[in-house]
Amino acid sequence: MRARMGRKRRRGSAAVELAVVLPFLLTLLFGIIEYGWVLCVRQTMVNAAREGARVASLMGSTDQEVRERVQEYLAPMGLTAEVTLERASPPDNPVEKVTVTIPYRQVSLLGAYFGSTDYNLVSSCSMRKEGFE
């Protein structure tokens, strides 16, 4: 009889321990998932900025072509970005700079669960304009 009561108490204490620890574990799990997703988006933004800078560095390229290339690169991830260009002014500054900006709230899987979403993810890339001496 006494052994049965001990088992019931142990099962009850296991349920209480689970109830105490589970919210922490779920928060940790969702935080890892959110961080991994944002890291993936950030890497995609870096590559999109690089692709845009490659197009911008070509002679005769237009702002529209650069923006289209960046959006094409982001499309498979379901992202749209604001693309800012700083065009070269030869001969003083033969560098093209492309900046890609995405609001964090567009990327976040969990919304404001881990804090404010009022900031932007920003990535930029600069390349020398081809054809200048």
Statement: residue 115 has pLDDT above 80: no
Q: What are phi and psi of 89, to 5 degrees?
A: -125, 90
21-66 pLDDT per residue, tens: 999 999 999 989 999 999 999 999 999 999 999 999 998 899 999 9
Q: What is the CATH number of domain 2-128?
A: 3.30.1300
**Is the C-alpha dihedral spanning 27, 28, 33, 36 positive or negative?**
positive
77-88 pLDDT per residue, tens: 999 999 999 987
6-18 pLDDT per residue, tens: 566 666 788 888 9
Any idea where the domains of the chain sit in the sequence?
Answer: 2-128
**Size of the chain in residues:** 133
Amino acid (one-letter) located at 54: R
Which one of 65-69, 93-97, 111-115 scores highest in mean pLDDT?
Answer: 65-69
Q: Of all helices (H) and strands (E), which one includes residue 95?
A: strand 95-103
